[in-house]
Amino acid sequence: MSNHLIVVESPAKAKTMSKYLGKDFTCLASYGHVRDLIPKQGAVETDNGFGMKYQLIEKNKKHVDAIVKAMKKADSLYLATDPDREGEAISWHLYEILRAEEAIDDKPVHRVEFHEITKSAIQHAIESPRQLSENLINAQQARRALDYLVGFNLSPLLWKKVRRGLSAGRVQSPALRLIVEREEEIEKFIAREYWTIQRRQWRARRGNRRRPESRGAGQVASAVGREETAPAQSGAAVHYFHPAAGGLAQARIQRPAHHAHGATALRRRRSRSR
């Protein structure tokens, strides 16, 4: 009879899966992460390709020992940790530990993932395993390295200047910087008047009938050959050459009313000059 070892993160999940998979499978739990960076300077070697030094998490040592012992008796290994980068890293760490303990040898190792704890989903995952994802593993290691490099240097500063026990990491530090930069932009803001333009054009039709067409400011620039700078005074006229109109066109300026956050929209009514 075959004996397959399947490892998940949660003990409750392991208990449920053992009912679905039967006697051919031994289901054990890792209880989360099994290895972490050593808690001292030099855990991430920035001068050596960002090499990372790990050690076994003490509180999970007994669970790892149980997995190693079961693997030595098993015919194959199924790593069924969560299907995210953290779960992928846990599977990789378990694989590295089992290989160091010479518990795997030439036994097949499979990575399985599922998104629901049902019999059909678990059986489908067992029937369609994959290899460990190097991209997900590298993503988790990069996340952990940033936590260490940023937090290891900034957290002691927070303990000294603010309060002991506070932590600074890859999320808190950039978020704080974004908030500060945004506040500085708000303080430096200078309110300025601005104008929006809308044009109404009459195009000649059969029987000398004209049909109005409205265009936004973006289309005005492409249709107008030359346009004068809008004067500030209300009611002033602007004349410019308009190719589509076949001659000079005229627009009058309406002065916008100011308010705390800028200016209201200005409407320009243009008509073909006679």
191-221 burial, b at 16+ Cβ within 10 Å, e below that, comes to: eeeeeebebebeeeeeeeeeeeeeeeeeebe
In this predicted structure, the answer to whether residue 231 has a pLDDT above a threshold of 70 is no
Model pLDDT, residue 47: 86
CB atoms within 10 A of CB 231: 11
- DSSP label of 30: -
Q: pLDDT at position 259, please?
A: 42
Does pLDDT of 233 surpass 50?
no
With 70 as the cut, is the pLDDT of residue 217 above it?
no
pLDDT band, very low/low/confident/very high, at 273 (cuts 50, 70, 90)? very low
pLDDT tens for residues 132-171? 999 999 999 998 998 888 877 778 888 888 888 777 777 7
| 245-262 tens-digit pLDDT | 555 555 554 444 444 343
> Residues of the chain with pLDDT > 90: what percent?
49
Q: In the structure, what pLDDT confidence band is assigned to residue 198 with cuts at 50, 70 and 90?
A: confident
Could you report the per-residue pLDDT of 199-216, keeping only the tens digit for each? 776 666 665 555 555 444
Q: Which CATH number does 4-132 carry? A: 3.40.50.140
Amino acid at 81: T
Spans of all domains in the chain: 4-132, 140-188, 198-272
In this prediction, residue 220 has a pLDDT band, given cuts at 50, 70 and 90, of very low
248: β partners = 241
Task: Determine the average pLDDT of the residues in 78-86.
Answer: 95
Confidence label for 265 from pLDDT (cuts 50, 70 and 90): very low
Provide the pLDDT for residue 269. Answer: 39
At residue 185, does pLDDT exceed 80? Answer: yes
pLDDT tens string 5-49: 999 999 999 999 999 998 999 999 999 999 999 987 788 988 888
Residue 52 has pLDDT above 80, yes or no: yes
Alpha carbon 189 to chain centroid, angstroms: 29
In order, the DSSP letters of 205-221 are -GGG-EEEEEEEHHHHH
pLDDT of residue 224 exceeding 50, the answer is: no
Which spans in 9-118 are helix H? 11-21, 61-73, 85-100
Please give the pLDDT value at position 234: 46
Question: Which residues have C-beta within 8 Å of that of residue 6, sequence separation ≥ 6?
Answer: 17, 21, 25, 26, 27, 28, 77, 78, 79, 80, 112, 126
Provide the pLDDT for residue 160: 87
Q: Report which of residues 199 and 118 the model is more confident about.
A: 118
Q: In degrees, to the nearest 5, what angle opens at C-alpha 70 toward C-alphas 132 and 131?
A: 10
Q: Under a CB-based contact definition with an 8 Å cutoff, are residues 37 and 43 in contact? A: yes
pTM for the structure as a whole: 0.62
| pLDDT score for 58 | 94
On the question of pLDDT at 219 being above 80, the answer is: no
Per-residue pLDDT band for 237 (boundaries 50, 70, 90) equals: low
